[in-house]
Structure 1
């Protein structure tokens, strides 16, 4: 399978990191952060435009920083009946919109051939309308409180770029509610998934629900994928999908270490829900709620925002 080579990844990322760190030191990093956020959440995925989804495909179509790695790990372990082994999850899981050398290609079907269930997991942060649809494929989306997404993105993105010490929580909270950036794209993604939630091959899960009953959710996802693991296989899937296991194997999920950024970013940080007040004050949380609620209404989505996340 393909391998993410740390040196090649560093060549791709280092110029942007250097520019961002310099701009942050000068107090003018906002334009570069806008560009990074805009590029992180795709409006178009060229590889998807020519790809025909198959019965082998399990798309993890989840907004960034919304439990994507947990969902991928659960689905990957289910597909391999609790025995998925890899140096990095993207040695097996395609991520079509990521412009990163070494990722396994979308059309590399060796993953299906190696899988005992003949299923393979595909990661994407694209909205559902951009993802190739087929009735025989499966689509799993985790929706997370956008306030929690904002907190997780602050620690991960600014840690990855090595500028977290330069950008305050207040600056970040103001940036993410700008038009066309994180919170608006969260609303577009959420609306797209919620609109198709009743399809038999679409499963939509709330992040807090996934954490609160992970065993029950793993059983639900396995049934959704059409997999019936034995008791021993289910135990292995549950163990390898636990927060403790993923923290102990974080290198299998995080980007390669990069120069210029010190300790960098943690991919598996806290694994908690309802904790956005660790970074955001009441005013910032209320503004994110107001903005996301308005964006969902603008899209005529009936996603129950207040019931799910309002006032948290």
Structure 2
């Protein structure tokens, strides 16, 4: 029932976006673009009225870095660590999902009244967002809420974003890859320049309430990735339970269930889920331009080095 309701909400947003005129598909807020189909200016204007709780579970990731995948891992961690029997797990999950239906899945999505409704959600609340740290509600840092920040190599992120944006019709007109790439490199896409997100989060490397993880390290060793997340958020799970979560949140499993969990949007959210797909898309000049931009901005930062650009973004 809850999953069906979520699908209805997502499909409704997609359907309504078809009636939005091309010139109104995007809006600017504090010099960053956002898509009208899922965000509205009024919500972003009152973001700071959101009151975070110290036990909230917050997942942050630039679009197409894997937030839907990691978000589901966090859902399973909460369920498994509760040691509920199957019936109780179903009841708790249903209650949580039904509460979330009126909220939309990301902090910046939906109507401004959502923040009042979020006060009614039971702890621990799971909250996702694509926002950069300087845009997040101040209460998150003030209340020392734990934040899991997810990154993915910039080239795969760009390719995944391109397919998602066209599939969701985010832009006024469909774009070819060669048209999209300059927009991505300049940051004239929703949620701004990805390299800026990396630069801003680099300032929080010493914050004990912030944990950084990459898409690639979870792909290479999902059990270790799940274990790290569990320890950070104080979820109590056994090695056997970790393996159960790994299997339940595999890309294949999530893609097979995408139509049930995300409706029509599922087709755009779950495409390949692999590392290195950029090699099939980038031209030589685009490769060089991305390499140069990365080198000029974040390559020498600690976070930039953690992303292992030379491993994942060089031929």
Of 253, 272, 275, the match for 1:273? 275
2-structure distance, mates of 1:81, 1:216: 16
2:33 alignment partner, SS class? helix
Q: Distance in 2 between matches of 1:181 and 1:216?
A: 33
Cα distance change, pair 227–69 in 1 and its aligned pair in 2 (3 A)? same
Name which of 255, 264, 267 aligns with 1:257. 264
The correspondence for 2:213, drawn from 186, 192, 205, is 205
Secondary structure (helix, strand or coil) at the match of 1:38 reads strand
**Alpha-carbon offset, residue 194 of structure 1:** 2.2
Name the counterpart of 2:130. 125
User: CA separation in 2, counterparts of 1:55 and 1:188?
Assistant: 27
Contact 1:148-1:274 at 8 Å conserved across structures: yes
Residue 17 of structure 2 corresponds to 13
Q: CA deviation at 1:307?
A: 6.8
**CA–CA distance in structure 2, aligned partners of residues 160 and 135 of structure 1:** 35
1:185-210 Cα deviation digits (max 9, x unpaired): 21121122222122222110121111
TM superposition shift of 1:8? 3.7
Q: CA RMSD in A?
A: 3.8
SS of corresponding position for 2:148? strand
Residue 283 of structure 1 is matched in structure 2 by 285
Aligned length in residues: 286
Instruction: Output the CA distance in 2 between the equivalents of 1:73 and 1:181.
Output: 26
- Which of 163, 168, 176 does residue 160 from structure 1 map onto? 168
Distance 1:151 1:162, change over 3 A: same
Q: TM-score, normalised by structure 1?
A: 0.75
Unaligned runs of 5+ in 1: 21-30, 113-118, 259-263
Q: Distance in 1 between matches of 2:146 and 2:260?
A: 24
Residue 234 of structure 2: SS of its match in structure 1? coil
Matches within 5 A, 1:70-85: 70-81=69-80, 83=89, 85=93
- How many angstroms apart in 2 are the aligned matches of 1:214 and 1:89? 29
How much does 1:234 deviate?
2.9
C-alpha displacement of 1:144: 1.0
Which of 145-154 and 103-112 deviates more?
A: 103-112
What is the rounded CA distance, in whole Å, between the counterparts of 1:246 and 1:289 in structure 2?
Answer: 32
TM-score for both structures, normalised by structure 2 = 0.75
The CA deviation string for residues 231-282 of structure 1, in whole angstroms up to 9 with x for no partner, is 554343222221122112113553x438xxxxx8421111111221122122
CA-to-partner distance for each residue in 1:100-134, whole Å, 9 max, x for gaps?
A: 6998976244342xxxxxx2210111012222314
